[in-house]
Amino acid sequence: MTEHGRLAELLAYRFGQGAGGTPEVEDSDFLTRLAGRRSHRRYSEQPVPPALVTDLCALALCAPSKSDLQQRDIVLVEDPALRTEVEGLLADSPWIAEAPVFLVFCANNRRQRQLHDWRGHPFANDHLDAFFNAAVDAGIALSAFVLVAESVGLGCCPISAVRNHAERVSQLLGLPQWVFPVAGLTLGWPAEDGEISPRLPLDATLHRDRFSEMGLREQVAAYDRRRGALQPYAQQRFEESYGPSEAYGWSEDKTRQYAARERADFGAFVRRKGFDLS
């Protein structure tokens, strides 16, 4: 099968409908890897060379940045005692302790404010957009890191749970005012292939000219059935509260997940970091 045929096959598996087929993507190994990417939570004992990690960080920071403001930093957590403390906060994710490398991607609006002090110019945009721009910058760098790491055969898994303990993680990593953790990331050589997670159909998430929800409920129901057939959940979330479901799918899992309150203090934490979210 040609790479073009493989790409179309992967996209059809991912979305449950045809995609791909243009000659512009026919010979792209990168696009084929992206279509077939998967998260990894199990890693071999083979260490990741420190110089490679540095190179991956550099490549991630080559990613686009809003107005070239460069409001993202990466903290590589190397000290064993420090890692143990961070891992203790994330005990529900035991693979973190097993990962050879653990990083935390941070949004940094502090540096911009320092520039204003040094150059003697007022900081006129002290509102929600300052927080938003920095958070998005960090997310872009995180995504870029995952892509470049996987391109050399490494596996990754983002850890949003660091925001469950944003105050303590911030203290442990020495994050000053206007710098906050966005997500952690485990990194290592995969010990298993992992699974390709099917996505919602493009008809539900790709819009042309105007946003549309026409047929969305039916599309989600069909996706639940398709994902249940291809990648059934090993266990049902919060079964003790909601009971077993015969048709447990993506929508039931995600609504149960968001039915449990978490990170309610994150806004207050961000304000304590100095942000005006008005």
Same domain, 64 and 109: yes
- Domain membership of residue 257 (yes or no) is no
Q: Does residue 82 fall inside a structural domain? A: yes
Lowest mean pLDDT among 90-94, 126-130, 163-167, 260-264: 90-94
Evaluate whether residue 88 is within a structural domain.
Answer: yes
**pLDDT tens figures, 148-202:** 999 999 999 999 999 999 999 999 999 999 999 999 999 999 999 989 999 999 9
pLDDT at 20: 62
Q: How far is CA 277 from the centre of its chain?
A: 23
Average pLDDT over residues 260-264: 94
Q: Can you give the residue range of the structural domain that contains 267?
A: 50-193+263-272
**Are 66 and 165 in the same domain?**
yes
Q: Is residue 112 assigned to a domain?
A: yes
67 & 161 share domain:
yes
Q: In this structure, are 88 and 156 located in the same domain?
A: yes
Return the number of other C-beta atoms located less than 10 Å from residue 114's C-beta. Answer: 12
103 and 146 within one domain: yes
Residue 180 near residue 171, CB atoms below 8 Å: no
Within this chain, do residues 62 and 12 fall inside the same structural domain, yes or no? no
State the Cα–Cα distance between residues 72 and 63, nearest whole angstrom: 11
Alpha carbon distance 72, 231 (integer Å): 35
- What is the overall mean pLDDT for the chain? 94
User: What's the pLDDT at 181?
Assistant: 98
Q: What is the pTM of this model?
A: 0.94
Q: Which residues contact 236 (CB under 8 A, 6 or more apart)?
A: 242, 244, 245, 248, 252, 253, 256
With pLDDT > 90 as the criterion, what percentage of the chain qualifies? Answer: 86
- State residue 2's pLDDT score: 46
What is the β-pairing status of strands 101-108 and 155-159?
unpaired
Total count of domains within the chain: 2
Question: Residue 215 domain-assigned?
Answer: no
Supply the pLDDT for residue 4: 52
For residues 82 and 183, membership in a common domain is answered with: yes
